[in-house]
Amino acid sequence: MIESSLRSATIPVTDPEAGLRLTEIFYSLQGEALTSGLPTIFVRLTGCPLRCTYCDTEYAFTGGERQSLDAIIATIKSFPCKRICLTGGEPLAQPNAIELLKRLLSDDYEISLETAGALTVENVPSEVSKVMDLKTPSSGEAGKNLWSNLDYLTAHDQIKFVIMNRTDYDWAKDKLFEHQLHNLVGTVWFSPMFNVASDINEDVGSEVPVLARELAEWMLADALPARFQLQLHKIIWADAKGK
C-alpha cells in the first residue's frame, strides 16, 4: 500500500451515491510487492477492524465519503493506467469491494488487493493478486490472522510479514516453514518496519536503517526462501503518511 507526496494526482471523493466508502483515489508508483516501481492507480477504501501498532494509514480508519461503483470506476478511467491496487484500511471490510473487483476485471484492469488476512478472501476473484499481510506478534493483532485463508491462495498471490524485531522474525520464519508458504504463493516478503533507528554506515557515508540491515543479515544467515523488501515510496518521498 502506498501514499506518495503526489497530492496533485489525488481526485477528491465527492459523489454522494451509496456504493463504497472511499478515502481517496490517487495515481503514483507502487511502493512494494511484485509490481513495485510501476505506475498504479490506488483505490483506498475506508475502515479497518484491526489496530496494528505499526499502522501508517490510521487516517483511513474513519471518515471517507460514499461513492457509487460507477463513480469510482469513472474516476479510475480518468488516469492513464490499467494497473490498480485496492487498499485501505481493510478493503474486504466492505462487501461491495468484491463487486468492484469483478467490474474492474471485466474492463481488463490488472488488480492487486492488499488485505490484512483477518477477513475471508474466499470470494475474491482468482484473477486478482492477493497481497496478504499476515500479522506478526508486535502488531498486537496476530491473534486475528484467519489461517483458513491459506486455502484460497495460489502462486498468483503474495504474503507479507512486517518485522519489528527478532521475535517477529522468528515467529514469521516458523510460520513460513510450518505452512510451507514459499511453496503456496508466488512470493513471501519480509519487510522491516520503516520508521526505525538508523546509524551511519562508514563504508557508504550515509544513514542505514538498523532494523533493515539486521533483517537482511538474519535472512542471509537462514538462507530464507523469502524476499527482503523496503517500501520504495518512503525512500523516494520520505512519506510517513501512507503505505
pLDDT at 87: 97
Phi, psi (rounded to 5 degrees) for 65: -140, 150
Closest CA relative to residue 121, chosen from 73, 72, 173, 157: 157
What CA–CA distance (Å, rounded) separates 73 from 188?
A: 31
Cell readout for 114 is: 492488499
**Consecutive H or E run containing 201:** strand 198-201
CB 161 within 8 A of CB 136: yes
50 CB neighbour count, 10 Å cutoff? 20
Please, which residues bridge with residue 26 across strands?
10, 42
pTM of the entire predicted model: 0.86
SS3 58: helix
pLDDT at 204: 44
Q: What is the 3-state secondary structure (H, E, C) of 107-174?
A: CCCEEEEEECCCCCCCCCCCCCEEEEEECCHHHCCHHHCCHHHHHHCCCCCEEEEEECCHHHHHHHHH
DSSP 22: E
pLDDT at 131: 98
Domains of the chain (ranges, CATH numbers): 7-237 (3.20.20.70)
> Measured on CA atoms in the order 55, 57, 58, 61, is the torsion positive or negative?
negative
pLDDT at 223: 98
**Mind listing the pLDDT tens digit of every residue in the chain (243 residues)?**
333 333 334 555 544 456 999 999 999 999 889 999 999 999 999 999 999 998 888 999 999 999 999 999 999 999 999 999 999 999 999 999 999 999 999 999 999 999 999 999 999 999 999 999 999 999 999 999 999 999 999 999 999 999 999 999 999 999 999 999 999 999 999 999 865 444 444 444 444 567 889 999 999 999 999 999 988 877 777 654 433
